[in-house]
Structure 1
Amino acid sequence: MTNFNEYSDLLGMVFLMKERIDPNLLAICFWLVWNKRNSDRLGESSVALGRIRAKAATLLHDFRTAQLSQPLVSTIVARAARWTPPLSPHLKINFGGATFKDLGCAGVGVVVRNSTGAVIGAFSQRIMMPSSAAIVELLACRKALVFAKDLGVVQCIVEGDAKVIIKALRQRDSSHPQYGHVIQDVLFLASDFQSCCFSHVKRLGNLVAHCLARSSKSGTELQVWYNSTQGYYSPCHS
């Protein structure tokens, strides 16, 4: 058995023999030995010396398995949060709302894009403050459908980040006492398209519409862009 005067000497040997010794496994073994010593001193239960290596191997396996699964979860989340183009010939209509309590008003923003991500049209408008943020989102959705109809859109996906609103629209649920009537208006407008469905996306995937909505704070007039708004919303591109 080799004796080591310094811990650094032991560590150096471990790394020199890393092809034969797993430093991660050894580190967990050291921790379990240290933990056992403290547990024994306090009269607490601990892993038996003969089972320390097996326990360390189990802990290391669990850790490595968790690390392997983490990138997959992160990728799925990132994809869910990112704006994705629709399949041709559908157009995607993103809408968003913002409230400005200091001004006592709200703003709506809409952007229409095709399967290549090119902007067909967009607009930003300040409106009177409704009774709730949910109604702001619904009014933005309704204005988005009217705008799409004016653009001659036939098949579309209407997308927003207000999960409760999108859920109500997808379930055709107009029973809410506060905004059920607006749900009915939106569904009526949607029925006039050859194809129209509603989709939820996280805020990161709806940044363009959200930034357009917030930009309405600086002006009272309706602002409309056709074919391209790239120069306008590039800092908020999603």
Structure 2
Amino acid sequence: MQNPRGADVFTTICWFIWNQRNKIRVKDIVAPLEKTSDLAQQYLMEFQQLRSKPVTKKLPKKVIWKPPDAGLLKTNFDGAAFEDLGAAGIGVVDRNSSSKVLAALFEIIPLPSSIVALETIAARRAILFLHELDLHGSILEGDSESSMLAIKN
């Protein structure tokens, strides 16, 4: 196995045999044994061709939090779904123009029917939180464009 290509072929054939064995155990359709070597090499060639194609990655736009203008507040809110628990979490943070946290809230709620619903509930709770604290002049900021559009309309 001095040849790296030979090692790749050998490893792929071993994997192919193991994979065929698993298919036999669950009574799935398998390729004839005499074709194993050819099929494994074809599989490896396809894999290597796909790997050699250049991948263009689009870097996510870096989001930088900006404080509000003097005299204003910024209220950030978000929701997180925990499907395995059947619950969701809502978080709200109020900051002033110096980026100082004035108030924060976290609540666990029953899992809503969708992420958009969760984000909308989080937005509503953020507004109620502002009223409870008697805070005025706040800019709302959330992740969900559709929720933010619904609130603006």
TM-score (norm 2): 0.58
Distance 1:169 1:152 in 2: 20
Instruction: Give 2:72's match in structure 1, choosing from 75, 81, 90.
Output: 90
Aligned to 1:108: 90
Q: How does 1:18-29 map to 2 (within 5 A)?
A: none
Task: List runs of 5+ in structure 1 lacking aligned partners.
Answer: 1-73, 173-238
How much is the aligned-residue C-alpha RMSD, in angstroms?
Answer: 1.3
- Confirm whether residue 164 of structure 1 aligns to residue 149 of structure 2: no
Identity %: 40
- Confirm whether residue 152 of structure 1 aligns to residue 121 of structure 2: no
- Confirm whether residue 134 of structure 1 aligns to residue 113 of structure 2: no
Counterpart residue type for residue 101 of structure 2: V
Distance 2:136 2:126 in 1: 13
SS of aligned partner of 2:121: helix
Instruction: Give 1:119's match in structure 2, choosing from 101, 116, 119.
Output: 101
Aligned to 1:231: none
Distance 1:130 1:104 in 2: 9
Distance 1:154 1:165 in 2: 21
Q: Deviations over 1:140-187 (max 9, x none)?
A: 1111111111222111100001111112222x1xxxxxxxxxxxxxxx
SS of aligned partner of 1:152: coil
> How far off its partner does 1:93 sit?
0.3
Structure 1 segments (4+ residues) deviating >3 Å = none
Counterpart residue type for residue 69 of structure 2: L
Q: Deviations over 1:216-238 (max 9, x none)?
A: xxxxxxxxxxxxxxxxxxxxxxx
Task: List runs of 5+ in structure 2 lacking aligned partners.
Answer: 1-58
Aligned to 1:203: none
Q: Deviations over 1:18-67 (max 9, x none)?
A: xxxxxxxxxxxxxxxxxxxxxxxxxxxxxxxxxxxxxxxxxxxxxxxxxx
SS of aligned partner of 1:130: coil
SS of aligned partner of 1:131: coil
> How far off its partner does 1:112 sit?
0.2
Choose between structure 1 and 2 for higher RCO, CA contacts under 8 A separated by at least 6 residues: 1
Q: How many residue pairs end up in the alignment?
A: 94
Counterpart residue type for residue 91 of structure 1: L
